[in-house]
Structure 1
């Protein structure tokens, strides 16, 4: 008789060639693939779309277009101004006024011991307007006299309007009362008997056409070639000799510069 198998005895397991147990009723287990060592997996943040770049090209394009139109506008203004100036010149033929010293009398010129100057100069200035269609509107006229670079007197003439093709004679007293001089200047004037004089006329004048008046621009007339001596007594004859040459220049002020 065969020995009875104990109840708790386990059935024998099948073993493969390698000595490992076989499960599933003897069916061999699938072998696991060998693990391969690789680089560690890096964390990648989720993709986020970038905002579009600012539209600078459009702004730059607008600035360029604005500068171009502004330049064209300024060129057109200059072109129109040149045309208007050309038409004005052809129609009116403007000429600048002229000035000359018609008479001069040095009534007194004294330098005290304390270097104080007292002088009086009677002057007649002739202003001419050579234009046929333009009148001149003068502001106040400042007249100064100097001898060897030393100012010996100043005077003022009230403004006036000069008609077309007109000659106006203006009389003015140029004087100095107690003006302090440098010792060198005082000695120079004391040692002279005849005085070379430079007359300077400063004013502003505008053009008048009918009821239209333009803005005034500066005018300076510098007269040289005059020599005078002090006239004694009640002599009325002019004490000037030589030829008085007056050069007229326009003085245009742009901001803080005068041309």
Structure 2
């Protein structure tokens, strides 16, 4: 018996017959063209090294601070360091004139300062000492003391003459008026004496670095000779008190 042959169905518009497309695979549906996953290396080892270094550095700083504290305690117990003291033992004024035309001050002072070292095992080495005498913020005289060595349990008298010929520059009108009024006051002209220098200490074979110090003396009053009087006037220093402050400079700042 012969097989029956069935004719194919005609395609629309005379197009050739094509096989139906196969359905998309799972790889095509979910992005077969994406790059293969490559795990990134982790930096745990590097982070661990940084943490270990920070811990080591912190422990080193703490150990150095602890050793410094122990050394300071030993030095204090062995030497019992004390600050030096200063006092204005005498201040004499020969003249103090104010020029109204140039707004400048000319003066002459004789200053005696007593420095005491109360330590038994501590020697101070002072550099040149600058002196400034002012009244209500107005500079009325500048001078200096030479450098000196301050031995143990020693009292040193420093003497100098301070002369000003108006080199400090012109004074503003308000300060000039206040200075002129104080010069005529019966209570006397209030003065402030400042000393600045660098000092280092020697304890046996140990020497400290140089430290800047400022000595400020307040409570000094002097009567200004009136007119053309040339008599020297002794200032009242009974109530004078001097304060010693260390001035530490860190970069641009001074404390």
Fold equivalence (TM over 0.5):
yes
Conserved 8 A contact 1:224-1:245:
yes
Higher mean displacement: 139-148 or 177-186:
177-186
Partner residue in 1 for 2:210? 216
| Closer, same or farther: CA 46–168 of 1 in aligned 2, 3 Å | closer
Matched, 1:63 2:50: yes
Q: State the Cα RMSD in Å.
A: 2.4
Pairs within 5 Å for 1:81-96: 81-96=68-83
TM norm structure 2: 0.81
Q: In the TM superposition, what is the alpha-carbon distance from 1:183 to its structure 2 partner?
A: 2.1
Partner residue in 2 for 1:142? 130
State how many pairs are aligned.
229
TM norm structure 1: 0.80
| Closer, same or farther: CA 45–157 of 1 in aligned 2, 3 Å | same
Conserved 8 A contact 2:89-2:237:
no
Pairs within 5 Å for 1:196-215: 196-215=190-209
SS across alignment from 1:189 = helix
Instruction: Compare CA radii of gyration and give the structure with the larger one.
Output: 1
Which 5+ residue runs of structure 1 have no aligned equivalent? 1-13, 22-34
Matched, 1:180 2:170: yes
Return the alpha-carbon distance in structure 2 between the equivalents of residues 181 and 46 of structure 1.
84
Matched, 1:40 2:24: yes
Q: In the TM superposition, what is the alpha-carbon distance from 1:45 to its structure 2 partner?
A: 5.0
Which 5+ residue runs of structure 2 have no aligned equivalent? 7-18
What does the per-residue CA deviation read over 1:79-137, in whole Å, with 9 as the maximum and x for residues that have no partner? 11001001110111111110000000011110113122101111000111011100001
SS across alignment from 1:119 = strand
Match among 201, 226, 247 for residue 251 of structure 1: 247
Return the alpha-carbon distance in structure 2 between the equivalents of residues 183 and 123 of structure 1.
28
Q: In the TM superposition, what is the alpha-carbon distance from 1:210 to its structure 2 partner?
A: 3.9
Conserved 8 A contact 2:127-2:146:
yes
Return the alpha-carbon distance in structure 2 between the equivalents of residues 86 and 212 of structure 1.
15
Partner residue in 2 for 1:189? 179
